[in-house]
């Protein structure tokens, strides 16, 4: 099958190998003339990034971005945006660069501080929407789905918390999903980002809300992960597997408007306190959260298992998750991420307050957080 297409939801997506070449056209479609090109310092040096920049002769680059980005990255980016007189952002990278790029386009014209726009109630309506600049997004990982999302994740260094900033106009105007851009991802990042896409689909599907549309997207996303993630990890040049994982990532972010849950609620504090990779951290927690939630999700997981070609029961699905993790090198316990018991009380206090906690299918309080964290520490399912 020719894995190319032009999609119109959740935004305009130009999907297919080689389509980075359409960047100049995408810039015009998004009505920008003088974009700031936002990426991270590792990607900035890669030939593929230089080639993409080369398609936009007058663009300037901003790349002062940490993995698990912080407010200072956004502040510096906004300064570069203003001093260059830019009128839009090309965000090129994994979730970290895409989120910072989106936040620069969002914050460039705001007068209130970043944290006033956290994804709480209707706080997003505080923003001056008229000043939000257009965004063209090009993902180079296949995981976060930030390229088709209306939110960005940034760490508040004062409180060591990952916060979600939301505005509908942070949705990129045009997204170019070119799987060739993901070919150079090291296997462990391919594995971790793939587990993020998986966790988005799974937590959305298991969420306790009525959203059949999201459910449909999530189950097909999980099937794509099952059929393609291990192949993409083993052979990074397998474009078919890379394309299907890129689709799964976009599907995860599309479906998680329904819900996320305890995987993310635990992974966010661990990521902000230990600087672990977000997707890998999700991958470690996934089976422990599944088992903890079992009573509430048993029936749903049976249906999911049947759809993706497993025996229709919870155990078969759990075994599949465990085998996939092992096959692609995701650690079974937190020790594999160099996370120990020393900050357990802090994590247990933070996790239930994470904005994703309310989407867990069973109530997720401090006690639940402690139980799951300790099991993930000790490898007890």
Ligand X SMILES: NC(=O)c1ccc[n+]([C@@H]2O[C@H](COP(=O)([O-])OP(=O)(O)OC[C@H]3O[C@@H](n4cnc5c(N)ncnc54)[C@H](O)[C@@H]3O)[C@@H](O)[C@H]2O)c1
Task: Tell me how far apart the alpha carbons of residues 93 and 177 are, in angstroms, rounded to a whole number.
Answer: 11
Residue among 40 and 196 whose Cβ is closer to Fe ion: 196
Question: Could you say which of 91, 105, 133, 189 contacts ligand X (CB under 6 A)?
Answer: 189
89 binds ligand X (CB under 6 A): no
Rounded to 5 degrees, what are φ and ψ at 331? -60, 150
Q: Is the bond preceding 11 in cis, omega lying within 30 degrees of 0?
A: no
Near ligand X in 221-260, by CB under 6 A:
253
Task: Tell me how far apart the alpha carbons of residues 366 and 110 are, in angstroms, rounded to a whole number.
Answer: 36
By a kind-dependent CB cut-off of 5 to 8 A, residue 96 interacts, out of ligand X, Fe ion, none, with ligand X
Question: What contacts 24+ positions apart, CB below 8 Å, involve 63-67?
Answer: 63/38, 63/39, 63/97, 65/38, 65/39, 65/40, 65/41, 65/93, 65/96, 65/97, 65/100, 66/96, 67/40, 67/94, 67/96, 67/275, 67/277
273 binds ligand X (CB under 6 A): no
Residue among 193 and 255 whose Cβ is closer to ligand X: 193
Nearest Cα residue to 61 out of 92, 33, 32: 92
Beta partners for residue 147, in sequence order: none
Residue whose pair of structure tokens reads 């397998």 in the numeric block: 238
Q: Where are the alpha helices (DSSP H) in 84-177?
A: 95-107
By a kind-dependent CB cut-off of 5 to 8 A, residue 181 interacts, out of ligand X, Fe ion, none, with ligand X
163 binds ligand X (CB under 6 A): no
Quote the least distance from Cβ 369 to ligand X, whole Å: 18
CB 179 within 8 A of CB 21: no
CB 105 within 8 A of CB 160: no
330 binds ligand X (CB under 6 A): no
- Piece of the chain touching Fe ion by CB under 5 A; list 112-120, 192-200, 222-230, 354-362: 192-200
354 binds Fe ion (CB under 5 A): no
Residue among 20 and 185 whose Cβ is closer to Fe ion: 185
Question: Could you say which of 20, 40, 136, 314 contacts ligand X (CB under 6 A)?
Answer: 40
196 binds Fe ion (CB under 5 A): yes
Question: Could you say which of 23, 104, 137, 185 contacts ligand X (CB under 6 A)?
Answer: 185
- Piece of the chain touching ligand X by CB under 6 A; list 15-23, 90-98, 207-215, 360-368: 90-98
Question: Could you say which of 20, 53, 151, 247 contacts ligand X (CB under 6 A)?
Answer: 151
Quote the least distance from Cβ 213 to ligand X, whole Å: 18
Residue whose pair of structure tokens reads 């956290």 in the numeric block: 118
114 binds ligand X (CB under 6 A): no
Residue among 12 and 73 whose Cβ is closer to ligand X: 73
Helix or strand run (H / E) with residue 75 = helix 71-83
356 binds ligand X (CB under 6 A): no
Nearest Cα residue to 49 out of 152, 41, 77, 58: 41
Question: Could you say which of 108, 149, 179, 261 contacts ligand X (CB under 6 A)?
Answer: 149
Beta strands 5-7; 12-15: pairing state: antiparallel
CB 68 within 8 A of CB 155: yes
Quote the least distance from Cβ 199 to Fe ion, whole Å: 6
Question: Could you say which of 29, 42, 70, 344 contacts ligand X (CB under 6 A)?
Answer: 42
99 binds Fe ion (CB under 5 A): no
Binding site for ligand X (CB under 6 A): 40, 42-43, 67-68, 93-97, 99, 140-141, 143-144, 146, 149, 151-153, 162, 181-182, 184-185, 189, 193, 196, 253, 278-279
Binding site for Fe ion (CB under 5 A): 196
């Amino acid at each position: 099958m020719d894995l190319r297409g032009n999609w119109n939801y959740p935004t305009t997506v130009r999907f297919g190998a080689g389509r980075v070449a359409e960047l100049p056209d995408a810039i015009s479609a998004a009505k920008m003339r003088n974009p700031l090109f936002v990426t991270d310092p590792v990607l900035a040096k890669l030939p593929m990034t230089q080639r993409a920049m080369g398609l936009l002769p007058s663009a300037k680059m901003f790349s002062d971005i940490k993995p698990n980005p912080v407010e200072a990255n956004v502040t510096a980016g906004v300064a570069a945006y203003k001093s260059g007189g830019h009128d839009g952002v090309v965000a090129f990278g994994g979730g970290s660069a895409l989120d910072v790029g989106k936040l620069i386009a969002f914050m460039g014209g705001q007068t209130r501080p970043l944290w006033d726009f956290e994804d709480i109630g209707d706080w997003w309506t505080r923003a001056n929407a008229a000043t939000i600049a257009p965004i063209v997004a090009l993902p180079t990982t296949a995981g976060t789905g930030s390229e088709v999302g209306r939110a960005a994740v940034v760490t508040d260094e004062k409180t060591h918390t990952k916060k979600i900033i939301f505005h509908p106009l942070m949705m990129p105007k045009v997204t170019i999903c070119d799987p060739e851009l993901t070919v150079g991802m090291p296997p462990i990042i391919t594995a971790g980002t793939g587990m993020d896409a998986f966790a988005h689909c799974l937590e959305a599907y298991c969420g306790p809300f009525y959203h059949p549309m999201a459910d449909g997207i999530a189950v097909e996303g999980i099937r794509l992960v099952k059929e393609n993630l291990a192949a993409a990890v083993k052979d990074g040049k397998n474009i078919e597997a890379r394309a299907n994982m890129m689709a799964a990532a976009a599907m995860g972010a599309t479906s998680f408007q329904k819900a996320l849950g305890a995987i993310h609620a635990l992974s966010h504090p661990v990521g902000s306190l230990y600087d672990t990779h977000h997707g890998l951290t999700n991958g470690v927690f996934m089976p422990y959260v599944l088992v903890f939630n079992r009573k509430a999700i048993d029936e749903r997981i049976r249906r999911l298992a049947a759809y993706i070609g497993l025996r229709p029961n919870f155990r078969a699905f759990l075994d599949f998750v465990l085998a996939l993790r092992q096959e692609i090198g995701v650690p079974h316990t937190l020790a594999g991420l160099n996370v120990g018991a020393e900050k357990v009380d802090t994590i247990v206090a933070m996790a239930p307050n994470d904005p994703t906690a309310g989407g867990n299918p069973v109530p997720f309080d401090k006690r639940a957080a402690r139980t799951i964290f300790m099991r993930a520490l000790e490898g007890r399912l």
